[in-house]
């Protein structure tokens, strides 16, 4: 997944693991892995930039994140179960080969997503992602588009 800051309006700097667009409570085609405008307020996280690099920041009020482990990870499958925590709403510097786990709230359940950053440029990151579509289940599977 290529994910970038748009210097004009942030049009491609928001990411949502799942958006139940039709409100049926089911994961349907076109509802997973959505890149959007950071100004929408509906993203699970947004990409921001400052002098020290690109940052991942949880956006929706019920979303939080954590760095996965203390070292870079081999690949996304290294994150097979979302950790218990601690999760934070603080911005976190995006670093190549590191994993990040996101905890979102859908109804009365936590749902989990993860990314592994493969590259960071001046205006973009490239990452692999996974998301658990079963409410309350911390096991993660790679995303497909």
- The pLDDT of residue 9 is above 70: no
**Domain range list for the chain:** 2-131
Distance between CA atoms of 77 and 57, rounded to whole angstroms? Answer: 23
b/e 74-94 (16+ beta carbons within 10 angstroms → b): eebeebeebeeeebeeebbeb
pLDDT for residue 8: 39
Contact in structure between 37 and 57 (CB atoms under 8 Å): no
Report the predicted TM-score, pTM, of the whole model to 2 decimal places: 0.88
pLDDT for residue 74: 96
- Evaluate the CA torsion angle 116, 98, 3, 15 in order and state its sign: positive
Site of tokens 């993660």 = 140
Write the pLDDT tens digit of every residue in 27-75: 888 999 999 888 888 999 999 888 889 999 999 998 999 999 999 999 9
Write the pLDDT tens digit of every residue in 72-121: 999 999 999 999 989 999 999 999 999 999 999 888 889 999 999 999 99
Distance between CA atoms of 85 and 101, rounded to whole angstroms? Answer: 9
**110: how many CB neighbours lie within 10 A of its CB?**
17
């Amino acid at each position: 997944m290529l994910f970038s800051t748009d210097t004009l309006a942030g049009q491609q700097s928001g990411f949502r693991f799942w958006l139940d667009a039709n409100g049926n409570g089911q994961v349907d085609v076109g509802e997973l892995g959505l890149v959007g405008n950071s100004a929408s307020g509906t993203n699970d996280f947004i990409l921001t930039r400052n002098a020290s690099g690109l940052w991942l920041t949880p956006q929706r009020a019920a979303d939080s994140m954590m760095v996965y482990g203390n070292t870079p990870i081999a690949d996304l499958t290294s994150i097979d179960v979302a950790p218990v925590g601690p999760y934070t709403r603080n911005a976190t510097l995006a670093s190549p080969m590191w994993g990040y786990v996101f905890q979102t709230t859908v109804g009365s359940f936590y749902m989990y997503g993860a990314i592994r950053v493969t590259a960071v440029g001046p205006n973009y990151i490239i990452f692999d992602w996974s998301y658990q579509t079963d409410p309350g289940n911390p096991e993660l599977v790679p995303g497909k588009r």
